[in-house]
């Protein structure tokens, strides 16, 4: 796995980090941009942006368990397929950011193993 690189050595208005690895035989790249009010995450195996999904976190109050995070997804651009929503929710649930996420997905493989490997790459960049 390539070590994550970041924007600290270059002049960049928006801080970012990126990482790459081979995931189930597919070269996979992740770029994480941290904006003040959003996290912008690019995940690609095609070297293209792919489907753009907005994921928002909402806290549901429960008397027994307290506040439970729930995530809503909305495809902003690209194919609106059920698997896109599942993968997006899985990724954002695991990284659990306090701000909304704009996530782009261009994956050749949408298996659980791929999602877990992508989550590891994203966590390297956070």
Between strands 39-44 and 101-106, the pairing is: parallel
CATH placement of domain 5-125: 3.30.230.90
Question: How far from the centroid of its chain's Cα atoms is residue 106's Cα?
Answer: 11
Confidence bin at 11 (pLDDT 50/70/90): low
Q: What is the dihedral of CA 74, 80, 83, 84, to 10 degrees?
A: -50
- pLDDT score, position 31: 97
Domain boundaries, the chain: 5-125
CA-to-CA distance for 32 and 6, rounded, in angstroms? 9
Query: Over pLDDT 70: what percentage of the chain?
Result: 94
Taking residues 108-124, report their average pLDDT.
Answer: 97
Using one digit for the tens of pLDDT, what is the confidence trace for 24-63? 999 999 999 999 999 999 999 999 999 999 999 988 888 8
């Amino acid at each position: 796995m390539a070590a994550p690189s970041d924007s600290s050595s270059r002049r960049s208005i928006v801080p970012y980090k990126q990482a790459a690895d081979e995931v189930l035989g597919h070269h996979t790249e992740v770029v994480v941009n941290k904006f003040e009010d959003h996290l912008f995450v690019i995940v690609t195996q095609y070297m293209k942006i792919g489907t753009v999904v907005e994921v928002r976190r909402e806290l549901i109050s429960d008397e027994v368990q307290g506040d439970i995070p729930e995530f809503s997804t909305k495809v902003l651009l690209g194919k609106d397929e059920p698997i896109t929503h599942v993968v997006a929710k899985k990724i954002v649930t695991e990284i659990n950011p306090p701000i909304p996420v704009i996530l782009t997905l261009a994956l050749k493989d949408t298996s659980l193993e791929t999602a877990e490997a992508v989550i590891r790459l994203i966590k390297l960049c956070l």
